[in-house]
Structure 1
């Protein structure tokens, strides 16, 4: 990338906090953004999920075709208000978290490495990282049953799994 700015398109489900990184590009054209919207609709259909609304900012990089693709899928576009940062606070929080936990600690040389790092972070965020806003649940896993047996709790063996060369660490109980 040699210092070029990259634009990342991502969406987050408000109810579960599941993140979906749709892609990254140095030049977000109308065709690229529209194709990302089509891919999102296809992904939602394949996963059996449905969305009623999509909150987006008023950036000029979103063409009318982006809104039309989502409208055809039954998704209503809600534009964020001017100077109302709390309207998309969940996504803003994810951007801040991604920068702080991943991008500030990683040197990215090219777009494939950026996408690889974002996919690993997406996987970790959706499957491992607990979210305080939803009772410490993870978007793609149900909460485990609490352990009430004291002997079981003292005999837990915890293992660390590193992702992206140790930038991200995941901790699991072994059986």
Structure 2
């Protein structure tokens, strides 16, 4: 019973009771609940919570994050920089910098990033980014492909 609870964190005491009954073990559902409570095993909804941090850790191999930031040159000009980070390796890639980011420029940087990832054999499944207006739909389309 305890092993079932630990290995199946989304199962509540009633589900565990049903599994035990299918194995021919006869006892009341309240007995299962009492035993789990005695051993400090919380009810299923409290055991099954996944935090954002634990989700990121478990999926890090396939997550890429992108963001724009602004910087000033020595002459005072503002440049917009597109950077991406691979969560698994924490490798930051500065894809490019320009004073005037256009949709074509941003899309080309996405294509370049895809080719770099393919060259290294890295497969990304998820991209985390904000809703910055500098990301054109062609940026998302290039990454989806």
Scaled by the length of structure 1, what TM-score is found?
0.40
Q: Which has the larger radius of gyration?
A: 2
The TM-score, its normalising length taken from structure 2, stands at: 0.48
